[in-house]
Structure 1
Amino acid sequence: MPKAGPASVEFRNVSMRYGAVTAVDNVSFSIEAGKLVTLLGPSGCGKTTTLRMIAGLEIASEGQILIGGKDVTKLSAADRDVSMVFQSYALFPHMSVLENAAYGPTVKGLSKETARDMALEKLALVGLKGFEKRFPSELSGGQQQRVAVARALVLEPQVLLFDEPLSNLDAKLRRRVREEIRELQQNLNLTVAYVTHDQEEALAVSDRIIVMSNARIAQEGAPRELYEQPVDAFVADFIGDANLLDTTIGSVSGEMATVTLGQATLSLPARGLAAGPARIAIRPESLLIDGAEAGAGLPGTVRKCTYLGNHQDIMVATALGELFVVRYGAHAMLEPGTPVRLGFANSGVTLIPPA
Structure 2
Amino acid sequence: MSKAPASVEFRNVSKRYGAVTAVDDVSFGIEPGTLVTLLGPSGCGKTTTLRLIAGLEMASSGTISIGGVDVTRLSAADRDVSMVFQSYALFPHMSVLENVAYGPTVQGAPKALAREMAMEKLALVGLSGLEKRAPSELSGGQQQRVAVARALVLEPQVLLFDEPLSNLDAKLRRRVREEIRELQIKLNLTVAYVTHDQEEALAVSDRIIVMSNARIAQSGTPYELYEEPASLFVADFIGDANILDAELVEERGPRALVRLGPMELDLPRRGATAGPIKLAVRPDALRLAPADGDGAGRGVDGRVAKAAYLGKQREYTVATPVGDLFIVDSGRTPARLVDAPVRVAFSDSGIVVLPR
In the superposition, the TM-score normalised over structure 1's length comes to 0.97
1:141 aligned partner: 140
Seen in structure 2, the aligned counterparts of structure 1 residues 125 and 335 have a Cα distance that, compared at 3 Å, is same
Matched positions, count = 353
CA distance in 2, matches of 1:193, 1:310: 32
Structure 2 runs not aligned, ≥5 long? none
Seen in structure 2, the aligned counterparts of structure 1 residues 347 and 294 have a Cα distance that, compared at 3 Å, is closer
Q: Is the 8 A contact 2:304 2:319 kept in 1?
A: yes
CA distance in 2, matches of 1:75, 1:326: 49
Q: Is the 8 A contact 1:40 1:202 kept in 2?
A: yes
CA RMSD of aligned residues (A): 1.3
Deviation, 1:296, is 4.1
State yes or no: 1:319 paired with 2:321: yes
2:340 aligned partner: 338
CA distance in 2, matches of 1:307, 1:89: 35
Deviation, 1:290, is 2.5
State yes or no: 1:76 paired with 2:75: yes
CA distance in 1, matches of 2:297, 2:267: 20
Equivalent of residue 308 in structure 1, options 287, 307, 310: 310
Structure 1 runs (4+) deviating above 3 angstroms are 291-296
Deviation, 1:31, is 0.4
State yes or no: 1:206 paired with 2:211: no
Amino acid across the alignment from 2:133? R
State yes or no: 1:297 paired with 2:296: no
CA distance in 2, matches of 1:98, 1:243: 50
CA distance in 2, matches of 1:294, 1:173: 39
Deviations 1:138-168 (A, max 9, x none): 0000000000000000010000000000000
Deviation, 1:294, is 6.8
Point out the more displaced range, 325-334 or 90-99.
325-334
CA distance in 2, matches of 1:20, 1:89: 32
Structure 1 runs not aligned, ≥5 long? none
Amino acid across the alignment from 2:351? V
Seen in structure 2, the aligned counterparts of structure 1 residues 317 and 114 have a Cα distance that, compared at 3 Å, is same
2:233 aligned partner: 234
2:47 aligned partner: 48
2:112 aligned partner: 113
Q: Is the 8 A contact 1:44 1:214 kept in 2?
A: yes
1:253 aligned partner: 252
- How do 1:1-355 and structure 2 match up within 5 A? 3-290=2-289, 296-354=298-356
Amino acid across the alignment from 2:318? V
Task: Give the secondary structure class of the aligned counterpart of 2:128.
Answer: coil
Q: Is the 8 A contact 1:211 1:218 kept in 2?
A: yes
Amino acid across the alignment from 1:229? E
Q: Is the 8 A contact 1:255 1:271 kept in 2?
A: yes
Deviations 1:243-285 (A, max 9, x none): 0011111111111111111111111100111111210000111
Deviation, 1:306, is 1.8
Task: Give the secondary structure class of the aligned counterpart of 1:28.
Answer: strand
Seen in structure 2, the aligned counterparts of structure 1 residues 28 and 168 have a Cα distance that, compared at 3 Å, is same
Amino acid across the alignment from 1:30? G
CA distance in 1, matches of 2:320, 2:327: 12
CA distance in 2, matches of 1:294, 1:122: 55
In the superposition, the TM-score normalised over structure 2's length comes to 0.97
